[in-house]
Amino acid sequence: MNINFRDLTIAVLRDHRPDMVAEIAAAARAPVEKERDDAAAKAKTAATLAESALNNARRKVEAAKTAAAAQSKPAQSEPASAYSPEALKAEWQGSDRLRAEYPEAEDYAAFRRAEVAGKVRILHGNTAA
């Protein structure tokens, strides 16, 4: 078979060599399909990594919230009855140190109520003489 390449068209090639047309089309599609599959795999990987990072960030935020909530609540090692006005007044009267620091029993009671509510912070440090 003698083919004149100047007059060759896709229609002529399909008529005479359909196998060659199919082979050329498959060769042209192969890189495109591979690129599409690679892009899909990369997109899935990126989505998985983003979801993982988001979940880690959420866990860290929840842990920080839990830690902050735990720090804001004072530990109550004493029963609530220890903070009654009568109990606080008796404690103030029984301690020379408390009477020296707080002139009135009501002052000491107000301090203890604020301490239990978490509104008092005691700073420890060296004081200059």
In this predicted structure, what is the pLDDT of residue 1? 60
Considering the domain architecture, whether residues 69 and 118 belong to the same structural domain is answered as: no
pTM greater than the 0.85 cutoff: no
- Going by pLDDT thresholds of 50, 70 and 90, the confidence category of residue 54 is very high
Considering the domain architecture, whether residues 69 and 80 belong to the same structural domain is answered as: no
What whole-number percentage of the chain has pLDDT above 70?
A: 85
Considering the domain architecture, whether residues 15 and 30 belong to the same structural domain is answered as: yes
Considering the domain architecture, whether residues 44 and 80 belong to the same structural domain is answered as: no
Considering the domain architecture, whether residues 52 and 104 belong to the same structural domain is answered as: no
Considering the domain architecture, whether residues 8 and 20 belong to the same structural domain is answered as: yes
Considering the domain architecture, whether residues 60 and 93 belong to the same structural domain is answered as: no
Q: What is the mean pLDDT of the chain?
A: 83
- Going by pLDDT thresholds of 50, 70 and 90, the confidence category of residue 129 is very low
Considering the domain architecture, whether residues 6 and 56 belong to the same structural domain is answered as: yes
What DSSP string describes the chain? ----GGG--HHHHHHH-HHHHHHHHHHHHHHHHHHHHHHHHHHHHHHHHHHHHHHHHHHHHHHHHHHHHHHHSPP--S-GGGGSHHHHHHHHHT-HHHHHH-SSHHHHHHHHHHHHTT-----------
Considering the domain architecture, whether residues 68 and 34 belong to the same structural domain is answered as: yes
Region 5-34: what's the mean pLDDT? 84
Considering the domain architecture, whether residues 42 and 64 belong to the same structural domain is answered as: yes
Structural domain harbouring 60: 1-73
Considering the domain architecture, whether residues 1 and 48 belong to the same structural domain is answered as: yes
Among 39-48, 96-105, 112-121, the range scoring the smallest mean pLDDT is 112-121
Q: How many domains does the chain have?
A: 2
